[in-house]
Every structure is written in C-alpha cells, then in structure tokens.
C-alpha cells in the first residue's frame, strides 16, 4: 500500500529554504522521494516571509523569487 502524500507546514519550508538552524529537521521530508501535498495558503505564507526577508536585507525580490 502506498503512503498518502506528506503535508508540511509553512514553518518547515521557511526553515529549510532560509537555511535556518532547524533546516536539517525538515530536509529529509522535503528532499525525500515521497510525494508532498502543499496547500496554496502555505505557499503564500512562505512567500510572505521570503519577501519580507528580502525587503529587510534590501535585495531585489525578483532576483530571489525566480
């Protein structure tokens, strides 16, 4: 029997993508071979954090988002 798709919280994606201290905890789930189920609201939450970090550090948003 196949496993259902995994669901990861936005906080896990943020930790992983920003390479924050707990990124390693989420890496195996995100980089694994199991399918992931990602809700649109999670994508939006991650986008908000990434763009606010970009604004804080003065980087152009389009450079990082692409």
pLDDT digits (tens, 9 = 90+) for 10-61: 888 888 888 888 889 888 888 888 777 788 888 888 888 877 776 666 655 4
pLDDT digits (tens, 9 = 90+) for 9-19: 788 888 888 88
Tokens of 24: 């390693």
Sequence ranges of the domains in the chain? 6-65
* Contact yes or no for 6/39 (Cβ under 8 A): no
Cβ–Cβ contacts within 10 Å for residue 14, how many?
20
Say what the pTM is.
0.62
The Cα 52–Cα 26 span in angstroms is: 22
* Contact yes or no for 14/46 (Cβ under 8 A): yes
The Cα 40–Cα 50 span in angstroms is: 15
């Amino acid at each position: 029997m196949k496993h259902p798709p995994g669901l990861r919280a936005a906080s896990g994606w943020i930790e992983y993508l920003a390479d924050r201290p707990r990124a390693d905890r989420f890496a195996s789930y995100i980089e694994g071979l199991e399918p992931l189920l990602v809700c649109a609201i999670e994508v939006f939450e991650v986008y908000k954090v990434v763009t606010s970090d970009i604004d804080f550090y003065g980087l152009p948003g389009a450079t990082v988002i692409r």
